[in-house]
Structure 1
């Protein structure tokens, strides 16, 4: 039986900072980038040794701008990586130079340990112990030394780990060390501690090694009386998921087929792969998933602006930028698929509204479906105008090649900005929008072009003409079309928007 840890999966809320830490600082190799197999709208990154060998793998689900989670009972709390004992001094110097939080060195179970924190706050321990890996990298950790588990059922958790080939080793205070042939698991009893909450900096699960599918099947049979299990083909390995008696999510993953099944060893981590069952929306997913740069690659530094935002850049940009404002319940990536179809060569700048309603994102508060908080609209419109100014200056955007596209609540927000801050938005597409302002000001919109697309069967369609009329009354050039549609977006939205942008931007050239 193969034993030991196969990989550890964490959560990051900042993909670029995550890559900079694990590749740029630690020196691990990015061996795979994929859309998540459980949710393809989540980017999944895999780091490891030069070949992505089992036992060297750290993987991260990207929950961009999700915020910090909480480490607590029923979770992995620390990840330990093995480094040559003589290198710890160099790692201290390197961490201090990079302003990375550190603690130590100290000794745990006789081993020298240096604790670091990654950008999300996850504790990464560098342990001075010689451990081999099939494809070592220079000046980088060699492999996983182990993990620390927080549990309020230490005896039961320890007993459960014996199923994966671990045996009791030593104890130090409230920590019981379990050992396999290759690595360790430290079980820390924390009765009365708070439960964990998923988010950035909190590991999702630890996976143990199965030699092949037969070992995995045998494990599932042995767990038949334990409780529910799930088996999933993750392409690079087959996984069995189960929770221990304390609720800690654990995985049993086969060593093969491995990371080189779809990329040559020299090309690992260069291509974005998407799950086969999502092949029909591959282009949409490529538009939605966050982009990043590896160390040494040209990058686009993020600016600190009033709204959470994300860029998607095409391979052959034409200098135009579409600024996207989602509808109720959406986020900064929601409109990127349709925007990419509308403008294949435009940079896409998706922005997230700051208001919330029952946990969903919005652009401003509302009192009912068509009555809005006027003070909140004005405050958020002012903040958005500042965002646009900051984005143009900070990212070097061409104001003459900016097109703003808003859907539903996002269209209403754009309508408010058009009327409250004339000149900030000069070219706008409003999809299923209505007039959000009760007392729109008298402004000059003669330098503004707007496309209003309304659905004939939209419950809010009767409110749309008032918006178009108000904009035209103040000088805006408005093209208003009624489509065979309801409130949802349809193919005609793409066709009409594409043609309208082509006409409008050709005027500015």
Structure 2
């Protein structure tokens, strides 16, 4: 199969992978490898997903490795139809120093070893992704310092249609190089693509710890459009073309299933930041600019190496903090509704109390793949034993969070929506000394028998929607709070079961009065 007539630049533009934890990812790629974050943005496919782009000082094509952050997301499986390894070129005479650095940083490392006559260190990043450092003779050292990779050296693709995959890669300016067992090396002027014949191996499954795609360089927008026309003539897979602001790109799958992107060198990452401050601003895609503030609250925060950071505690529930620039003393603990996540209510919490630290928590029960706080048998029948068990685990979580994050129990407000509000009420019944201030939006009773404990001094706001089909279940809960001695405010607003614009001022006014 011949090369396409479209003019390509030389080699790989970037590689995009998926990480489960943003902070260890930053610590590895900035703190250990010495790359620079050249852009942080909400994803162009999903603005509520953080996208970090690492590279050299200016984000030059050929130096870039990028990560979609699926914070606490499900792990994938590396297999056919995926990039399985990423390699960086480093000066040959610096391999020993890189080995020492890896050992000092407790990075998993194998080698040095020889691959295709080159000296290689095989590392694993925090997600278990294989990152190779390849010694290159005569390579110039980067200006940032001796222990900074020079550029991307290449990728390894797993394929159960290896001949067709190599022929497809040849379209992008690569020529066949040496063969080593099941590996066929494809060579460009600047880098390589190794295609491994993995016939009989498992197919890849997208998720954290896997690659999303590899992008090859193309000259300009006209070249992308020409490539699109040529690929359509050759009956390639579905083709998508996008303006990614920093480059114009095309996506297509090669015959073995790996997602391939063609990306232009320009406009580049300096279009909205100067070199001195490159990568410091969190951007939102242009189509989502009206939601910019909410999106910035939704995206996971991280600290650069050497900066102060929130400690990480191993607690019974997945959780995430949002800390505003000027945090006050209050912390709001957020419990999502059915099908939500630990981040779902953060925009609501931030609008209610802009200076509050937010602690979002994810329920552990699942129903058809969505998160809940306890199992149910129907919309009105709930697993009582599971509620008791999860309430006990949540009590342990709260106590662990107070101790581990040095939270002030007197400054905690627990805010829940629907299933989360129901769970807060159950926790207050089963552990009456745990929660001293609660906001229950569309809350109801779920325990068949609500123990009547002592809730004197406990402040509770219930917000019920007049058109909520479950509104009648709120009254027994309100009556229970009063019998237990809680200071209850029960507001009814023009709303159904979902959130309403009235919720924010209603909760804000109550919190202002409760402080």
Category of TM-score, reference length = shorter chain:
over 0.9
- The whole-number CA distance in structure 1 between the counterparts of 2:504 and 2:497 is 15
Residue number in structure 2 paired with 1:92: 99
2:168 paired with 1:152: no
Q: Compute the displacement of 1:66 (Å).
A: 1.1
- The whole-number CA distance in structure 1 between the counterparts of 2:244 and 2:482 is 54
**Structure 2 matches for 1:106-125, cutoff 5 A?**
106-125=113-132
- The whole-number CA distance in structure 2 between the counterparts of 1:288 and 1:316 is 17
User: How large is the RMSD of aligned CA atoms in angstroms?
Assistant: 1.1
1:346-366 Cα distance to aligned partner (Å, 9 max, x none): 000000000000000000000
- The whole-number CA distance in structure 1 between the counterparts of 2:443 and 2:177 is 65
2:40 paired with 1:30: no
Residue number in structure 2 paired with 1:126: 133
2:181 paired with 1:177: no
Q: Compute the displacement of 1:133 (Å).
A: 8.6
- Contact kept, 8 Å, 2:375 with 2:383, in 1: the verdict is yes
Residue number in structure 2 paired with 1:241: 251
Residue number in structure 1 paired with 2:459: 449
2:25 paired with 1:15: no
1:233-261 Cα distance to aligned partner (Å, 9 max, x none): 11100110000011110000000000111
After alignment, is 144-153 or 465-474 more displaced?
A: 465-474
After alignment, is 218-227 or 400-409 more displaced?
A: 218-227
Give 1:432's match in structure 2, choosing from 442, 450, 475. 442
Corresponding residue pairs, total: 505
1:42-65 Cα distance to aligned partner (Å, 9 max, x none): 000000011110000000000011
Residue number in structure 2 paired with 1:482: 492
2:76 paired with 1:69: yes
Q: Secondary structure at the match of 2:469?
A: coil
- The whole-number CA distance in structure 1 between the counterparts of 2:456 and 2:339 is 33
Residue number in structure 1 paired with 2:211: 203
- TM-score, with structure 2 as normaliser: 0.97
**Runs of 4+ in structure 1 displaced over 3 angstroms?**
130-138
- The whole-number CA distance in structure 2 between the counterparts of 1:356 and 1:105 is 45
Residue number in structure 2 paired with 1:104: 111
- Contact kept, 8 Å, 1:53 with 1:133, in 2: the verdict is no
- The whole-number CA distance in structure 2 between the counterparts of 1:362 and 1:308 is 13
2:432 paired with 1:422: yes
Q: Secondary structure at the match of 1:204?
A: strand
Q: Secondary structure at the match of 1:71?
A: coil
- The whole-number CA distance in structure 2 between the counterparts of 1:477 and 1:138 is 64
Q: Secondary structure at the match of 2:410?
A: helix
2:13 paired with 1:6: yes
Q: Compute the displacement of 1:97 (Å).
A: 1.8
- The whole-number CA distance in structure 1 between the counterparts of 2:92 and 2:466 is 71
- The whole-number CA distance in structure 2 between the counterparts of 1:246 and 1:137 is 39
1:97-116 Cα distance to aligned partner (Å, 9 max, x none): 22211111110110001100
- Contact kept, 8 Å, 1:132 with 1:143, in 2: the verdict is no
